[in-house]
Chains A and B, each alone.
Chain A
Amino acid sequence: MTYIAKPKLHHPGLKPNKLGFTHRDYEGSISTLCAGCGHDSISAALIQACYELSIEPYKVAKLSGIGCSSKTPDYFLGPAHGFNSVHGRMPSVLTGANLANRDLLYLGVSGDGDSASIGLGQFAHCVRRGVNMVYICENNGVYGLTKGQFSATADKGSRSKTAVNNDSPIDLVSLALVLGATFVARSFSGDKKQLVPILKAAMAHKGSAIIDVVSPCVQFNNNPQSTKSYDFVREHNEAVNRIDFIESKAEITADYEPGTVTMVRQHDGSMLKLSKLHPDYDATDRAKAMAYLQERHAAGEVVTGVLFVEEQADDLHDALGTVATPLNNLTERELCPGSAKLADLNADYR
């Protein structure tokens, strides 16, 4: 178990955010994962991102499937409701929850087995629909909870402690791009500096934000021959951009040298400043992003950063034309046509 030591009293040094919440207000129960598990670092990054964004913790809904990764919503944002559903089916449960109340922030947490093996279909379809959510796949290339079998994201030729994977991998990032996701990123659990701003940008994004986070399983897939190990990812990590999340345009003071920075304005008015680390990478061009990813993957790189973002995306509610009021708030008054209308209808059936 990894303990982040919890003082009994609020630490006087804990700085409150804009809403007066401290870091502590975003924490959850104590993690029961293995010490050093990448998933715990992602939970910590989520806590940090929500704290920095001054999100009201209880206005978040956390949904997950089944797996070590899917257990983690219990370990952050204690004041928020969570739903640990069934293996591979978080996307549908999240979609339904989102339909019922469009006003919450939906965090979907999944694993690579959960998303790319048993749940590939649901992953694809919730992306296609543009469900407004932050979907995090905590990707370790194996089934942690069932003790280390390869998942569908394991690279061909990758070795675990006991086996070699001979199947081609599924790259959720490429898939998300093909399926029309409007925010696609990849990061590494060991790179909080990159992961936190990506999470913040994803939370501000309206539409399906898909984040594939390589998150090593220290128990079953952290050996040197694994492409999902800490060492491998550190060595091969190629970030395409550096992300700064800027809450409003007013905060931008400096001018940037042309061609070095892409500014993306999000639906809620926030700005994403993507400083280019690769001069020819354009995170607003879906087709080029796809080609670049294929190319670099073939060269053995793990490409990270905000890989694609569409500035003003629509979501499922836009497509369905639902009312602004959350559906779970409607009453008999809006929902029930009443007896007079029914009498008219009866006449139509005669």
Chain B
Amino acid sequence: MTDKHKKSKKEIIITGFGGQGIIMAGRILGRSAALGDRKESVFTQSYGPESRGGACNAQVVISEEPIRYPYVRHPDILICMSQTGYEKFIMQMTNETILLIDQDLVHLTLNKCDSFSIPATRMAEELGRKMMANIIMLGFCTTITKVVSIDAALDSVADSVPKGTEETNIRAFKKGFDYGLAILKGRDRKAVGKTGAV
């Protein structure tokens, strides 16, 4: 592992379009780190016309030490839930960025870094509410990147979503989380060349 991975500071960008709950996802992530994991975190959001359907993004910095600069230049973690969002940040990715995408919404054009995909929106639809794709993505991000602890994330999901929807949102989070576990397991199996059961 390089120094960059060892360093305690993690910079995260979440992008998508308005209405996907991108900003909320950023806020939940920040809260998990600060309130649950007792770390420092800073959350900024880019608004504007975007909140009515255009591109938007949330930026979160999480660190063990006080954070002096709130914006993200080169994300350690980039979560993309729209093609425009992905293209906008392509140049800011490094080869050490971990890229998480909604596989039905983002088509990768560059193989620059390690990427993980999940059909988050489709899964949310199957759960009955497309709106929850962001929460599924958060669950996925929690397993893959371990940037926040699962307990912290679960608590802040429950605190942040509208009253009465806690249970379904927790279910959504767990779906994403389990999917992440399955993806990691699949990678391990591939690494040892055993993907089937027989």
Is chain B a partner of chain A in the same complex?
no
